[in-house]
Structure 1
Amino acid sequence: MAQLKITLIHSAAHRLPKQRKIVEALGLGRINSSVVRPDTAATRGALFKIAHLIKVEQVKD
């Protein structure tokens, strides 16, 4: 299964509560923190809602 590396590049402070919860649920805490998540429809939906805060890269297996 494909993997996505998600990096928080902008702060979630002063954002809508829903967006802050998505950032927290993905496991992103501080700016420049990164996590690797599976490329699923649910993950893509969450990333779409906070696309202005993150950078997404595809991880090669």
Structure 2
Amino acid sequence: MSQIRVTQTKSVIGSKEKHKRTVRALGLKRIRDSRVHEDTPQIRGMIRKVSHLVSVEEVK
């Protein structure tokens, strides 16, 4: 499977608690923090939920 890099671009301050927990579950702790994940439907669903807080790019 391919891999994707997820980067937090905005703060979770003022966000819903579910969104805060989703960002944390992706392994992100602060702005400009990045993690590489396998491109699975579960990860894509989490990213879709917090798409306004993160950016995504493919890793080659």
For the criterion TM > 0.5, the same-fold answer is yes
**Pairwise CA RMSD of aligned residues?**
0.4
Q: Residue 45 of structure 2 aligns with which residue?
A: 45
Higher helix proportion? 1
Task: In structure 2, give the amino acid aligned to 1:9.
Answer: T
Alignment of 1:1-61 (within 5 A): 1-60=1-60
> Percent same amino acid at aligned positions?
42
Task: In structure 2, give the amino acid aligned to 1:38.
Answer: E
Post-superposition offset of 1:13: 1.1
1:17-61: CA deviation from partner (whole Å, max 9, x where unpaired): 00000000011001000000000000000000000011100001x
**Gaps (5+ residues) in structure 2?**
none
Please identify runs of 4+ aligned residues in structure 1 that moved more than 2 A.
Answer: none
**Gaps (5+ residues) in structure 1?**
none
The two structures have a TM-score, normalised by structure 2, of 0.97
Q: How many residues align?
A: 60
Task: In structure 2, give the amino acid aligned to 1:59.
Answer: V
